[in-house]
Structure 1
């Protein structure tokens, strides 16, 4: 009887070991698909975002600070003290003009919302485009994935998203026009995943 138990244990142990290795590998070393999924489902983050828009005049740069809360929405702060709050009923704009605060429809601001992780990763991702590289962003090993935007806008036809594999945070997004030329570059700096964002920022 004792011999049977020992033999049974010896047969079971390898399977348990393999099972534990698979589980812990998924936790300690998630796949590229897992990293993308977790970033899409992130609850709160804060980051600096720079937009580089290419047009016939050259390049235009715009620096912003972004606060994202899955529950509250998105707050974008601009250098000229303008603030945009992206909520379910539209975009609430606050600036130094005589109007003070007003609301515009969400589809009136495509550019800035392209940097929202939950939005850009909600478009259909091309699974066969997921790959790793190191050429585009210096010494960072990144994951890149492509998506079609389906916006009926010739300047926003598709996008390539770059994610830092080590920190599991976004590095940048390149948006391409209908001819395959990059029309917008979005660059993230000091991206922080946080437990919560002060809800007063959205009031």
Structure 2
């Protein structure tokens, strides 16, 4: 009887080992596709986000602080002067210069939401564009993926998202026009996943 138990245990060991390897790989070593999906599904984060907008007049830079909640919306602070809260039914604008508060249609701002993870990753991924590299962002090993924007705006045609593979956080986004020229760069700094965003901010 003991011999049968020992044989059964020995036969089970390889299967258990294989199962542990699969589970360990999925948790500790996710694929590039799984990392991108985890960003799309992220619940809440806070980040400093810089927009570099390129046009015929040169470059315009905007430094923002963003509070993202997948369920409740996104708050973008443009310094102390302007705050925008993006929700499904519109964009609330809090203008501290004129001491006013009003709501505008979402269609009036398609540029800033390109930094929101649920927004940028809602666009279709170009086939065979997902790859791993280490050239664009110094020594950081990153995942790169191209997304087709379909915004009816020739200046916002394709977005290339860069994700830090080790930390599984976005590094930046480069947006190209229909001629392949980059017209917008979005740089993420101090990106932090958080459990929740204070309700008073949204």
How high is the TM-score relative to the length of structure 2? Answer: 0.95
In the TM superposition, what is the alpha-carbon distance from 1:18 to its structure 2 partner? 0.6
* Partner Cα separation in structure 1 for residue 10 and residue 165 of structure 2: 38
Matches within 5 A, 1:95-110: 95-98=95-98, 100-110=100-110
The 2-side partners of 1:16 and 1:146 are apart by 39
Task: State which drifts further: 56-65 or 88-97.
Answer: 88-97
Q: What is the CA RMSD across the aligned residues, in angstroms? A: 1.3
The answer (yes or no) to whether the contact 1:127–1:145 under 8 Å persists in 2 is: no
| Structure 1 CA distance for aligned equivalents of residues 171 and 62 of structure 2 | 17
Q: Tell me how far apart the structure 2 counterparts of residues 74 and 172 of structure 1 sit (CA, whole Å).
A: 18
Query: 1:15 and 1:126 mapped to 2: Cα distance?
Result: 38
Q: Which residue of 2 aligns with 1:139?
A: 139
Gaps of 5+ in 1: none
Q: TM-score, normalised by structure 1?
A: 0.95
Counterpart-to-counterpart distance in 1, 2:123 and 2:71 = 20
Query: How far apart, CA to CA, are the structure 2 residues paired with 1:54 and 1:98?
Result: 28
**Does the 8 Å CA contact 2:146/2:160 hold for their aligned counterparts?**
yes
> CA-to-partner distance for each residue in 1:12-65, whole Å, 9 max, x for gaps?
211110111110111111111111111111111000000011111111111100
5+ residue gaps, structure 2, are none
Q: Which residue of 1 aligns with 2:38?
A: 38
Name the counterpart of 2:50.
Answer: 50
Inter-partner Cα distance in structure 1 for 2:5 and 2:100:
78
